[in-house]
C-alpha cells in the first residue's frame, strides 16, 4: 500500500522549500522502504533549490540520513525490516568498467530506486542525489542502505551519508594521509573539520586549519588542528611553509571549492606533496597559473568525490570508532530541527553559523 507522508520539496527554482504530502510506493524488486529518523541539511540541497544542479523540479530534498528499514522488495537479502541503516548515494553496480577494474568508488552506474515517489497529483519527484530524505519514509535501492550499529544516534549516523564522509574520506581514502604527515586543510566548515578529524585518525603529526572566520578556526582546533591560520590576516602559503620546516605540507586538502584557495593549496604543499580538492566549484570558475609551476612539482593533484568512500567498507568502521570514543562525530551536530525548519537552516548555513543542522523525524 502506498504510504502518504510529509516531505520537503523544492517546487521551482529559487523558491523557498515547502513541506507537502508525498506518496511513497511499496518497495519493488531490489528496493527498500526506510523510515527516516534524521537527515542533515547539506549545501547540495540548497544547490538543488537554486537550480545549480539541474532543472528537474520538483525535487525531494535531503540525502544525509539514517533510519530503520521498514520493508524490502523481492530479492533483497542485504537488509531486513528493523535494520538501522545509513543511506548512501554510492550503491555500486559491480559491473561497470570502474567496478571491473577494482575501483568501485568511481562506479558509473550506481543503483537508485526504480519506482518514483510523487506528489498527490501524480507529479514525479526527483530525489536529491537519488535519495530524498527530508521525508518520513523514503524509497531507495537496497544497496543504498548500509547497516550499522543501532547504538549510534541517528542524527550522528546520518552525517556519514554525505558531507562528513566526504571530508573524512578526502583525508583517509583519497590523499591518503599516513602516520607522521603534515596536513593543511583550507576551509574549516563541516567538510574541512571532517578532513581534520580524518588526518588525526590517520596519525598526521602536524594539522593546519586555514579559514577566514575566527569561529571556524576555534572549531578546527577542537577537532584536532595543531595550528590554525586566519588567511584574511596572514598569507597562508608562507605560514604553512613556516610550520612545515620551510617545505610545505605533505597533504593539502581544499574544502571550499574556489580557484584562489585551490592555488593556496597548490603552492602550500611540499614539492612532491598531494593536493586534494573536495570542495565543489561552480561551473563559471577558472584557474589561472603558470603551467611551468605544475610541471616543476611532482606529487599528485587529486579530486575527492564523496571521500572516495565505499559505504559497506567505511560506514560500519567509522560508526564503530565513534562508539569507541575515537571519532567525535557528535560535534558536527550544531542543532536538531523539525521538518518545517529546513528553509531557516539554509540561511544559517549560508551565514556560517552551523556545521550541520539535522532534521529529526
Ligand atoms: N579562504 C578561507 N576560508 C574560506 C574562504 C576563503 N577564501 N571562503 C570561505 N571559507 C571558509 C568558510 O568560512 C567556511 O568555514 O570555508 C568554510 C566552508 O564551509 P561551509 O560553508 O560550512 O561548507 P562545507 O559544508 O564544509 O562544504 C565545503 O565542500 O562538499 C563541498 O559543497 C561543499 O563546496 C562545499 C565544500
Ligand atoms: Zn559500477
Ligand atoms: Zn550532501
CA atoms of 309 and 27, how far apart (whole Å)? 26
The protein residues having their C-beta less than 5 angstroms from ligand 3 (an ion) are 42, 44, 162
pLDDT at 322 over 90: yes
Looking at the CA of residue 191, tell me the nearest atom of ligand 1: 26
Ligand 1: which residue has its CA nearest to atom 29? 279
**Residue to probe by mutation, ligand 1, list 159, 161, 190, 191, most atoms within 8 Å of CB:** 191
Candidates 108, 94, 45; CA nearest to 280 is 45
Looking at the CA of residue 42, tell me the nearest atom of ligand 1: 25
* Average pLDDT value for residue range 221-236: 98
CA atoms of 85 and 245, how far apart (whole Å)? 45
Ligand 1: which residue has its CA nearest to atom 22? 189
Q: Ligand 3 centre and the CA of 191: distance in Å? A: 10
The partner residues of 219 in beta bridges, in order of sequence, read: none
pLDDT at 1 over 90: no
From first CA to last CA, the distance across the chain in angstroms is: 21
pTM of the model as a whole: 0.96
What nine digits make up the cell of 101?
577494474
* Average pLDDT value for residue range 304-330: 97
> Taking the CB of residue 21, how many other CB atoms lie within 10 A of it?
12
* 289 close to 201: Cβ distance less than 8 angstroms: no
Q: Ligand 3 centre and the CA of 129: distance in Å? A: 8
pLDDT at 225 over 90: yes
What is residue 135's DSSP assignment?
Answer: B
Residue 234's Cα: distance from chain center in Å? Answer: 29
Residues 79-114: pLDDT tens digits?
A: 999 999 999 999 999 999 999 999 999 999 999 999
* Average pLDDT value for residue range 124-143: 98
Average pLDDT, the chain: 97
pLDDT at 84: 98
- Ligand closest to Cα of 188 equals 1
103 Cβ contact list (under 8 Å, min separation 6) = none
Which residues are near ligand 1 (CB < 6 Å)?
Answer: 43, 163, 166, 186-192, 210-213, 216, 231, 255-258, 261, 278-280, 352
Containing 49, the helix (H) or strand (E) segment is: helix 43-49
What nine digits make up the cell of 314?
567505511
Alpha carbon separation from 167 to 17, 58, 152, 185, 325 (Å, rounded): 27, 29, 20, 10, 19
* 60 close to 127: Cβ distance less than 8 angstroms: yes
User: How much is the CA Rg of the chain, to the nearest whole Å?
Assistant: 20
Ligand 1: which residue has its CA nearest to atom 32? 280
Residues 23-74: pLDDT tens digits?
A: 999 999 999 999 999 999 999 999 999 998 999 999 999 999 999 999 999 9
Ligand 1: which residue has its CA nearest to atom 35? 279
Amino acid at each position: 500500500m502506498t504510504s502518504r507522508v510529509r516531505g520537503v520539496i523544492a517546487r521551482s527554482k529559487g523558491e523557498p522549500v515547502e513541506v507537502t504530502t508525498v506518496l511513497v510506493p511499496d518497495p519493488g524488486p531490489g528496493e527498500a522502504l526506510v523510515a527516516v529518523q534524521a537527515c542533515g541539511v547539506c549545501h547540495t540541497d540548497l544547490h538543488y533549490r537554486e537550480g545549480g544542479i539541474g532543472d528537474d523540479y520538483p525535487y525531494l530534498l535531503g540525502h544525509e540520513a539514517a533510519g530503520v528499514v521498514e520493508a524490502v522488495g523481492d530479492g533483497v537479502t542485504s537488509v531486513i525490516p528493523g535494520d538501522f541503516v545509513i543511506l548512501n548515494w554510492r550503491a555500486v553496480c559491480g559491473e561497470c568498467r570502474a567496478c571491473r577494474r577494482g575501483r568501485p568508488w568511481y562506479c558509473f552506474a550506481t543503483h537508485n530506486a526504480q519506482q518514483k515517489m510523487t506528489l498527490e497529483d501524480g507529479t514525479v519527484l526527483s530525489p536529491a542525489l537519488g535519495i530524498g530524505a527530508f521525508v518520513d519514509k523514503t524509497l531507495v535501492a537496497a544497496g543504498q542502505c548500509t547497516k550499522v550499529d543501532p547504538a549510534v544516534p541517528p542524527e550522528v549516523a546520518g552525517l556519514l551519508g554525505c558531507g562528513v564522509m566526504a571530508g573524512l574520506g578526502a583525508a583517509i581514502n583519497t590523499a591518503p594521509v599516513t602516520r607522521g604527515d603534515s596536513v593543511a586543510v583550507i576551509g574549516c566548515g563541516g567538510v574541512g573539520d571532517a578532513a581534520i578529524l580524518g588526518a588525526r585518525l590517520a596519525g598526521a603529526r602536524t594539522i593546519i586549519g586555514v579559514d577566514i572566520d575566527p569561529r571556524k578556526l576555534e572549531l578546527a582546533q577542537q577537532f584536532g588542528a595543531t595550528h590554525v591560520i586566519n588567511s584574511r590576516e596572514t598569507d597562508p602559503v608562507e605560514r604553512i611553509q613556516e610550520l612545515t620546516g620551510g617545505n610545505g605540507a605533505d597533504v593539502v586538502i581544499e574544502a571550499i571549492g574556489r580557484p584562489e584557495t585551490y592555488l593556496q593549496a597548490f603552492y602550500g604543499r611540499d614539492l612532491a606533496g598531494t593536493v586534494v580538492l573536495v570542495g565543489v566549484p561552480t561551473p563559471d570558475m577558472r584557474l589561472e597559473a603558470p603551467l611551468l609551476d605544475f610541471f616543476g612539482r611532482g606529487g599528485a593533484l587529486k579530486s575527492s568525490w564523496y571521500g572516495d568512500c565505499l559505504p559497506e567498507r567505511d560506514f560500519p568502521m567509522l560508526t564503530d570508532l565513534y562508539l569507541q570514543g575515537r571519532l567525535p562525530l557528535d560535534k558536527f551536530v550544531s542543532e536538531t530541527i523539525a521538518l518545517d525548519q529546513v528553509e531557516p537552516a539554509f540561511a544559517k548555513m549560508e551565514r556560517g553559523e552551523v556545521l550541520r543542522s539535522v532534521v529529526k523525524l
